[in-house]
Chains A and B, each alone.
Chain A
Amino acid sequence: MSDFRALFASPNFNISESFLPNINLQNQRNWAEEFIQNVVIPRLPEAVASHFPVEIGTVLVMFACAGVFVGVFPLLPLVLVLAERKVSARFQNRTGPMRVGPWGTLQTLADGVKLIFKEDFIPPQGDKLLFLLAPYIIFACSFAVFAAIPFSQGILVSDFNIGIFYIMAISSVIVMGVIMAGWSSNSKWSLLGSLRSAAQIVSYEIPLGLSILTVVMLVESLSMREIVASQSNGVFSWLIFRTPFAFIAFFIFFISSIAEVNRTPFDLPEAESEIVAGFHTEYSGMRFALFFIAEYANMFAVSAIAVTLFLGGWEGILPGYDILGGFPGFVIKSLALVFLMMWLRWTLPRLRVDQLMNLCWKYFIPIAFFNILGTGIWGLIFPEDTVISTAISCAIIYIGLIAAYKVAGRGLAQRPAPQPS
């Protein structure tokens, strides 16, 4: 195994590059093939080694890695579900689950086992095929997003040159699964929930995409790795502080992504008190668990994307030091945003459909367009990212925050009374 360890220890080693398909990197040897050639074959008896099918072995190793990937990431929702229950319990003067395992740490595992053994109910009048397919689409899409998230310098499944674009595209497919689930359940509440969800996700994708564009304009790349690499000069080189427009873009991005993952105050698609449970009302057992896992995986994914785009990714707060950097730093930053989402969920009430759309179309989209314009102008004034530009940016952000605080304290805008029709 020494070769294997040496492979990992070498400074030039990079899993992500090795995982890239050969068509992109024709001159590089496939990592899996290398593993077969250098590690597996020398250890086999000679009679077998000469006939060893390298191609099939390579594919098998690839599958094994994919298996580890698919096997490890569902553990993340397991932790997050427990975290949510514990966090909400703390907010509500409770202790949360305490019985299964020490401090209830195995509760989600127990729930998962329970869900697996439950009856897999299929509505007899529903559309069976779509009903069965929908959870897999949602599950697959929410985990496919992880393929482009750079957890650290070395831990990145695939460094596409269009990474962030890929994430946007894949996460949009989730809405297909939601509509399929809602339609095929043959339940009016499910249908209402899925249509709410479709409207919401499609609308909020626009400000989301536009605020990503702000970042892309600053970095001039769609690759996740390059976006992080451009933030390597400490906390003030993080894109959120680079220009005041990116600062606004971060908030638009974060709020829109809360709407994308259907969480309070934008949890209309699964608003329990209005439409029972929305699109997954009729699901039970393992299929319900898939929705649940996908929801929490999504939550982590959007946080991780926000960290990558705005909060420096795996880069630390000081150049050259690993404070809040590397893999642990990335996870800590992402979990902080996840905690923020939980905090919001257990504090705020829910918006109404028309208010949700108002917020998106009348406020977020114009502001996001303004951001793009502003970023362009900023780029003309400060073509290079210097200390002066960062200082000016931080000063504007500081003044803006104080002004926003003063204005927000004055009360809420009036809104016209709803007209009875």
Chain B
Amino acid sequence: METTPQTESKIIELKPFADEMVVNMGPQHPSTHGVLRLELKLDGEVVREAIPHIGYLHRCFEKHSENLSYPQIIPFTDRMDYVAAMNQNWGFCLAVEKLLKADESKEFEVPERAEYLRVLICELNRIASHLLSFGTYGMDIGAFTPFLYAFRDRERLLLLFEKVCGARLTYNYIRIGGVSEIIPMEPGSITEQNFLDEIEAFLDYFEPLIDEYNELLTKNSIFAERTTRVAVMSAEMALSYGATGPNLRGSGVDWDLRRDEPYSIYDRFDFDVPVAVDVPELGSVVGDCWSRYKIRMDEMKESIRIVRQILAEGLPGGPVMADLKAVRPPKGEIYFRSEAPRGELGFYIVSDGTPKPVRLKGRSPCFSALSALQELSRGLMVADIIAIIGSIDIVMGEVDR
């Protein structure tokens, strides 16, 4: 029998007098954001190579979906990026809706009220997601307190989500053709008014806090020392790895699907897309960990702007679900991408005209960003690896699917 390459690699790994030490960071490790396993080849504290091993959270989402009808898939999308589940629901529903619209015979429009609710909830979810990212990043760098501040504020958002759909983490709120009506909220009712008032109260409370967090962590000199000029991802590199969202904008590429390829009703709102610039007073250059982190802090403000515009307009009346008799898309295939908090979330669906997809593929923004880790981390220190993982903000549920 021939020696397989696998056994050979084992022999190489067990070299007794090598200067390199192989360390497994993860899958159980406090700051690999879930179950990422990194095989670190260390020369003292210097990382010669960091090889990510993924798949510890693989749940066969794509294969599973082939046996489920389209509405049944939505709860599974919740489990992808469980930190921003609303946006995952939405991304999937948008893809299915686009596929449904390909059928000329079935005319339908997502009701205005549902569109507003979707944008409102998803932008709040974006804030919640970025808050978690901010908090855990602080903890990765060693500051424990911002983490608890972030969770304190996120808690208020989760209570709002609970009010609207009954769940705190896996919402299953956005449905194909509209939004869920499990907890009824009549247009113009006291319930709706209370809900909007609570959102407004939260925004009034939270908006000044972002500046406070910037003072506490972002501009902290130790934090800046740790994150600026570390793991600089150039624009070319970001594009070649397919990094999207805050990671791409952190590398100085001005690209946001909400503005550049507007879906839903994003073209009606006025918001800026934060793009990284050099910050000489902190020593930051475009594309370093600090820039990626800072983009998220700035995006929270923009999300607040969008939500405030919705609150000023008020929710329109009408139904929240389109009149879809059954979700039976025509034969064909579709790819649709939307801007989730972690980047470009795409769904590729192949349909044969039955209620179940033949093939479903999720394009995970975290997976693409994580693939850059190996190149980013070479020659840095162990502590920098943590800083990189935190700054590209991965959620393993989405990477592994």
- Chain A residues, Cβ within 8 Å of B381: 352-354
Indicate which residue in B45, B143, B216 contacts A192 across the interface (CB closer than 8 Å): B45
Of the candidate stretches A140-148, A171-179, A329-337, A341-349, the one touching chain B is: A341-349
**Minimal beta-carbon separation of B16 from chain A (angstroms):** 15
Q: Are A351 and B379 in contact (CB under 8 A)?
A: no
A92, B230: Cα distance in complex, Å? 29
Within 8 Å of chain B (Cβ to Cβ): is A77?
A: no
Inter-subunit contact A349/B222 (CB<8 Å) = yes
A351: nearest chain-B partner, CB-CB: B222
**Residues of chain A from 246 to 304 with CB closer than 8 A to chain B in the complex:** 264-265, 267-268, 271-276
Q: Which of A92, A271, A272, A412 interacts with B224 by CB under 8 Å?
A: A412
A275 to B149, CA, bound (A): 24
Given A273-B139, A273-B140, A411-B281: A418 and B230 interface contact (C-beta under 8 Å): yes
Check if A92 sits within 8 Å of B145, measured CB to CB. yes
Closest to B139 in A: A273
CB distance from A65 to the nearest CB of B (A): 40
Stretch at the interface among B301-309, B313-321, B382-390: B382-390
CA distance A240 to B52 in the complex (A): 52
Chain B nearest CB from A280 CB (Å) reads 15
B120 contacts chain A at the CB level, 8 A cutoff: no
Interface class of chain A by DSSP = loop
Inter-subunit contact A271/B383 (CB<8 Å): yes
- Give which listed residue, A94, A192, A349, A417, contacts B141 with CB less than 8 A: A349
CB A344 to nearest CB in B, in angstroms, measures: 10
B24 to nearest A CB, angstroms? Answer: 8
Residues of B within 8 A of A412 (CB): 221, 224-225, 281-283
Q: Find B283's partner among A276, A414, A419 (CB 8 Å cutoff).
A: A414
Contact between A346 and B383, CB atoms less than 8 A apart: no
For B227, the closest partner residue in chain A by CB is A349
Residues in B neighbouring A273, C-beta threshold 8 A:
30-31, 139-142, 386
Contact A352 B384 (CB under 8 A): yes
In the bound complex, what is the Cα–Cα distance between A348 and B226 (angstroms)?
Answer: 12
Residues B226 and A350 in contact, CB atoms below 8 Å apart: yes
**A22 interface hit (Cβ, 8 Å):** no
Q: Are A93 and B226 in contact (CB under 8 A)?
A: no
Q: Mark A408-421, 1 if CB is under 8 A from B, else 0.
A: 00011011011111
A413 to chain B, nearest CB (A): 8
Give the Cβ gap from B290 to chain A, nearest Cβ, in Å.
Answer: 12
Chain A residue, CB-CB nearest to B377: A420
Establish whether residues A94 and B148, one from each chain, have CB atoms under 8 Å apart when the complex forms.
yes
Contact with B along A85-129 (1 / 0, CB 8 A): 000100111100000000000000000000000000000000000
**Does A31 interact with chain B (Cβ within 8 Å)?**
no
Chain B positions within 8 Å of A355 at CB level: 225-226
- Let me know if A314 is at the binding interface, CB within 8 A: no
Q: Which 6 A-B pairs have the closest CB atoms?
A: A350-B142, A420-B379, A273-B31, A411-B281, A349-B143, A92-B148
* B residues with CB within 8 A of A: 21, 23, 29-31, 42, 45-46, 138-145, 148-149, 152, 216-217, 220-226, 229-230, 232, 280-283, 285, 378-384, 386
Can you give 26 contacting A-B residue pairs, CB < 8 Å? A88-B145, A91-B145, A188-B23, A192-B23, A192-B45, A267-B142, A268-B383, A271-B142, A273-B141, A274-B382, A348-B142, A348-B220, A352-B225, A352-B383, A352-B384, A353-B383, A354-B381, A411-B281, A412-B221, A412-B281, A412-B282, A412-B283, A415-B225, A415-B229, A415-B283, A421-B46
